[in-house]
Chain A
Amino acid sequence: MAALGYLEILDGKGAVSERIAVDSFPLTIGRAYGNQVIVDDPFVCPLHLKIFQDEQGRLLASDLDSVNGIYSASSKDRVAQLVLQSGSQFRIGHTTLRYVSVDHPLAPTQVDRAVKASPLASPLASPYAAAVAGVVLVLLLCLDAYLSSVERVSFARIIGEPWITVSMLATWAGMWALASRIIVSRFNFAAHVTIACLALLTISALGVVAEWTEFFLPRVPMLWIAGLFGYGAVLAALLYGHLGAASPLRRRSRLWAAGAISLVVVGTSAISDYAARSKFSTVMAFTGVVKPIDAAWLPATSVDEFFAGAEKIKKELDKLAQKAKSSQP
């Protein structure tokens, strides 16, 4: 005979710990072995309640003069009788039960993120992408090592400097891969390598853009802005990517996690930056990036404007001196 429904005994978190098929009514529930549903709970009577259908076809749970009674999960009150629908929960003693009919509606099937990655993640996860990203990064690092050296360069030095970065990157990706193996049972090493390479490439690009911006427009403290907010954004993207490959978290949770961590890092560095700025120092802190371009292209202020701007320095210094004077005994 096909089952009409199921009685489910739930644990404290609401998960099903035991499921008993119901193929006919009435049925009795209690601690005694003569019941159709036996509940191993000292606060439940040997013959605690009965479930039956009334003339109208409703399913009713009725207390059989038990010591501790029946409690409706929705109203939390002791009831003598309870109308059961598919999904109704009630408590006897310390045990929560749920009745579901065979045609109880189900939640839609969840996508397994670890198995079926998002469309963005799939090309990143390919080992070819990792290889390409790695090669591009190594080439760029070598180029940077060459361009930033002002002495005669040796081949060993051009290779040696990027080598440290590359091995650190590999270690970083390896640690994420290990975490992935533990959490989602897959290493996803290629994906982690690609993500880390992309982040590093973005940071380099950001640095170059910031330097040129600061060179053209020295009024805008672009290096400082990029150093604080640009790197914070790259860090958030990096963590978002790694979490995607290393955990079954949904997109929104990953965004939150990555955003929160990056915000903490940016906040900490902003505080230490502020502390360093407000601490007394005899160092002249200025950025003066110069770049090899035809001077005709360069926007420039006139000599008059330059010295008119210096008045601002004077005002600021007057204020600082006034403050220092008033703080002295």
Chain B
Amino acid sequence: MTRLLTSIALLLWFALAAVGTARAQTIPGTTPEIFKQFSEHVVKIEVVETGSSAKAATGTGFFADASGRIVTNYHVISKLVHSPERYRIDVIDVAGATTVATVLGVDVVFDLAVLRTNRQPKGHLVFESKAVAQGTRLYSLGHPRDLGLSIVEGTHNGLLKHTLYPKVHFTGSLNPGMSGGPTLTQAGKVVGINVATEGNQISFLVPAERAMILLDKTAKGETPPAASFLADVGRQIFDNQARYLAGMFDAKTPRVALAPYDLPTKPTEFFRCWADAVRRKELPYVSVTHDCSTDDYIFVSSEQSLGIVRFYHQLLSTSELNPVRFFTLYSGQFQGGNAAMFGNEEEVTPFRCQTRNVATAHGKLKGVLCARQYVKLPALYDAVFRAATLGSRNAGLVSTLSLSGVSFDNVQNLSRRYMENIKWQR
């Protein structure tokens, strides 16, 4: 009896083990299966400095059609866009074979690029055309920190709500080097392209349809000269301005009261605003700040991120300092506090500024407008408009608007609308 029982138990054990093994090998949609099935369509991308033949940047890409076009991030290959004479792109497949790629087109706003090699791929990935429900299991492929092709599991958490450029919120750990890699559904369809991470499993994907649009645009397959892409980048940024600047600081802009001032705040959903106050016992004045900034930016190069709009109000008031001392403080705040700006001589001109006393409909203010121009991106400017309200003896407002990568018309229009939005009771 005991022997019989033992035999049955052993049989059962073997049967279960066999079932387990069979599941690991054959059940589709499991992580090993997805990796096995789709990893051959994923490639490693190396941007190589031709002088030293050493890699300057690495990322991931994937074959997106039968002709062998490869989708990756613009930021992976941005060095080549800026200095085509100094870099080349190597594409390395899973078998380790290396071929040189050329760029067919870039979308700097959504951080995408399409490349081509002269090799026919064995197959390619397809894009998911249906909407994907929040909570769907996703699998991201890429070369994290150049450690070899890896697969990362995560969850689709919908499109980000307060963002200027649509992005998929992917709850999973993306790491540097996985940029440009595909994130797949269980069926192996691409829902997005790995683009950024904020750590702690908060990662972002470019929606698949943006890659499809860029693939359509580059469908002719002609290879434009490498030197032409930077001008193209400038044009795309220029054309993109209308998307986020139109109507900003118009009459419908929400307002915040920092008595006696009535000021603009959070012009659109894609701004984030913060407020704080400094009321310390040892200081004979109070400083209240209100700071708004866009979260989104356009990566142009490791030194240039454009398209950011930021503004902040600082209300200074005192019941203790006499007017002369208060204005020493006020002058200092107005003239100081400039954060170090990025940029070098090859990319931007130095700033040029204009200071005037300006009479607005609400009162007089000291206004400063500083601007600089991009050298390689035509007709784009960075600008800072700063105002200090005048007339009060124990209170003052310093308000600053900074814009990056906009036309000069927008510098003037936005600064003007911003200035006219600074209201106060005299």
B192 interface contact, C-beta 8 A? no
Task: Find residues 273-304 in chain A having any chain B CB closer than 8 Å to their own CB.
Answer: 280-295, 298-303
B side interface size, CB within 8 A: 67
B374 lies within 8 A of A321 (CB): yes
Per-residue interface assignment for chain A, residues 286 to 329, with 1 indicating a CB less than 8 Å from any chain B CB and 0 otherwise: 11111111110011111101110110111011101100110010
Q: Which of B350, B358, B360, B390 has the most CB of A within 10 A?
A: B350
Of the 9-residue stretches B16-24, B27-35, B238-246, B381-389, which lies at the interface with chain A? B381-389
B364 interface contact, C-beta 8 A? yes
A317 lies within 8 A of B388 (CB): no
Tell me which of A147, A293, A307, A321 contacts B412 (CB under 8 A). Answer: A307
A56 interface contact, C-beta 8 A? no
Of the 9-residue stretches B6-14, B113-121, B271-279, B327-335, which lies at the interface with chain A? B327-335
| Size band of the interface chain A makes with B | 35 or more
Of the 9-residue stretches A125-133, A149-157, A198-206, A248-256, which lies at the interface with chain B? A149-157
Q: How far in angstroms is the closest Cβ of chain B from A262?
A: 29
A288 to B367 alpha-carbon distance, docked (Å): 8
Q: Which residues of A contact B307 (CB under 8 A)?
A: none
Of the 9-residue stretches B145-153, B214-222, B318-326, which lies at the interface with chain A? B318-326
A290 lies within 8 A of B408 (CB): no
Q: Which of B324, B348, B357 has the most CB of A within 10 A?
A: B357
A299 to B364 alpha-carbon distance, docked (Å): 9
A219 interface contact, C-beta 8 A? yes
Q: Which residues of B contact A312 (CB under 8 A)?
A: 354
Given A152-B284, A302-B358, A303-B416: A282 and B342 interface contact (C-beta under 8 Å): yes
A218 interface contact, C-beta 8 A? yes
Q: Which residues of B contact A305 (CB under 8 A)?
A: 356
Q: Which residues of B contact A313 (CB under 8 A)?
A: 352-354, 369, 371
Per-residue interface assignment for chain B, residues 377 to 420, with 1 indicating a CB less than 8 Å from any chain A CB and 0 otherwise: 00001001010101101001000000000001001100110011
B372 interface contact, C-beta 8 A? yes
Per-residue interface assignment for chain B, residues 343 to 371, with 1 indicating a CB less than 8 Å from any chain A CB and 0 otherwise: 11110111111111111100110111111
B94 interface contact, C-beta 8 A? no
Q: Which residues of B contact A151 (CB under 8 A)?
A: 282-284
Residue of B with least CB distance to A146: B325
Residue of B with least CB distance to A281: B350
Q: How far in angstroms is the closest Cβ of chain A from B367?
A: 6
Residue of A with least CB distance to B357: A300
A313 to B412 alpha-carbon distance, docked (Å): 11
B338 interface contact, C-beta 8 A? yes
A74 interface contact, C-beta 8 A? no
Q: How far in angstroms is the closest Cβ of chain B from A292?
A: 4
Q: How far in angstroms is the closest Cβ of chain B from A268?
A: 23
A188 to B342 alpha-carbon distance, docked (Å): 56
A148 interface contact, C-beta 8 A? yes
A303 to B358 alpha-carbon distance, docked (Å): 6
Given A282-B342, A306-B358: A292 and B375 interface contact (C-beta under 8 Å): no
A82 to B326 alpha-carbon distance, docked (Å): 88
Residue of A with least CB distance to B85: A329
A218 lies within 8 A of B324 (CB): no
A7 to B142 alpha-carbon distance, docked (Å): 111
Tell me which of B283, B350, B354, B376 contacts A310 (CB under 8 A). Answer: B354
Given A150-B329, A286-B370, A318-B373: A295 and B391 interface contact (C-beta under 8 Å): yes
A324 lies within 8 A of B331 (CB): no
Q: Which residues of B contact A291 (CB under 8 A)?
A: 327, 331
B95 interface contact, C-beta 8 A? no
B340 interface contact, C-beta 8 A? yes
Name 27 A/B residue pairs within 8 A (Cβ), A-sorted: A149-B328, A150-B326, A151-B282, A151-B284, A216-B357, A280-B350, A281-B350, A282-B343, A282-B348, A282-B351, A284-B351, A284-B353, A285-B351, A285-B353, A286-B355, A288-B366, A289-B335, A290-B330, A290-B366, A292-B323, A292-B393, A299-B357, A313-B369, A314-B371, A318-B373, A324-B346, A328-B346
Chain A residues with a Cβ under 8 A of chain B: 146-152, 216, 218-219, 280-295, 298-303, 305-307, 309-310, 312-314, 316-318, 320-321, 324-325, 328
| A-B complex: 6 closest residue pairs judged by Cβ atoms | A295-B391, A292-B323, A150-B329, A286-B353, A320-B349, A300-B359
